Amino acid sequence: MRIAPGDVPAIYPDGITEANNSAGQEFGENRLLETIRAHLALPVPSILDAILTTALDFSAGEMRDDLTLVVARGR
């Protein structure tokens, strides 16, 4: 994969996207992408924090799978 300057690739397993809220809804890829897009101007560590915070808030802190994330920014 080629990463152009400014690109923000994210690599993640299903633990984030399959996190459930109290209604049984999944966090999903759309929420993950929305979170990344909303924080693109921030440094990478802050994007990671935003993803984790948003997913944990969504699932009321009840994550049942891994929380592995890799986020980078092309230079």
State whether residue 65 is helix, strand or coil: coil
| 40-67 per-position pLDDT tens digit | 999 999 999 999 999 989 988 777 777 7
Strand partners, 20: 26
Per the structure, the count of domains in the chain is: 1
The predicted pLDDT at position 14 comes to 86
User: Taking each helix axis from N to C terminus, what angle separates 44-58 and 28-38, rounded to the nearest 10 degrees?
Assistant: 140
Asked, for residue 63, whether it belongs to a domain, the answer is: yes
Asked, for residue 49, whether it belongs to a domain, the answer is: yes
The pTM for the full model equals 0.86
Neighbours of 25 (CB within 10 A): 12
Asked, for residue 2, whether it belongs to a domain, the answer is: no
Q: Give the domain range for residue 44.
A: 10-71
